[in-house]
Amino acid sequence: MTARILGVDPGERRMGLAVSDPLGITAQGLDTFDRRKDGDFMARLRDLVAEYEVERIVVGNPVSLSGREGEASARARLLADEIARGLGLPVELWDERLSSVEAQRTLAGARAGKKAVDRVAAVLILQGYLDAHPRAS
């Protein structure tokens, strides 16, 4: 079994989470993490890394449409650095332009809450990464 990749859609309050299948082909959403209600985010990541045998983490980087990094992108970079230091795993930033917009479109009419949007955004971020980095079988 191949180790998995964890995807993170960073937000100020909620973090969308997704994990790859063991072959690194598809992304599945996990429960969204709410920083105000769910406690220690790093502890949650440690649990997920152990449970799914995660070998790498991909953090969405919300660059602007022009490709420039703004305040949210700087926060994502800091989060990625914190995760890399805290877990000792490789962490990559992945361009997540419009992932939340695409997630809202995907869920349009489904009466989905913000947590569902964050979860789908994490799936879209991770799936984009997986599609761009196919693993040799």
Looking at the predicted structure, is the pLDDT value of residue 100 above 60? no
Catalogue all structural domains in the chain, each as residue range(s) with its CATH number: 4-132 (3.30.420.140)
pLDDT of residue 121: 86
Q: pLDDT for 5-61, tens place per residue?
A: 999 999 888 999 999 999 999 999 999 999 889 889 999 999 999 999 999 999 999
pLDDT of residue 2: 67
The pair of structure tokens assigned to 95 is 């361009």
Q: How far apart are CA 24 and CA 58, in angstroms?
A: 13
Percent of the chain with pLDDT over 90: 56
pLDDT of residue 111: 56
pLDDT of residue 31: 93
pLDDT of residue 30: 96
Strand partners, 93: 59
pLDDT of residue 106: 58
Of 3, 8, 4, 22, nearest in space to 121 by CA: 8
pTM of the complete model: 0.86
Q: Which of helix, strand or coil describes residue 67?
A: coil
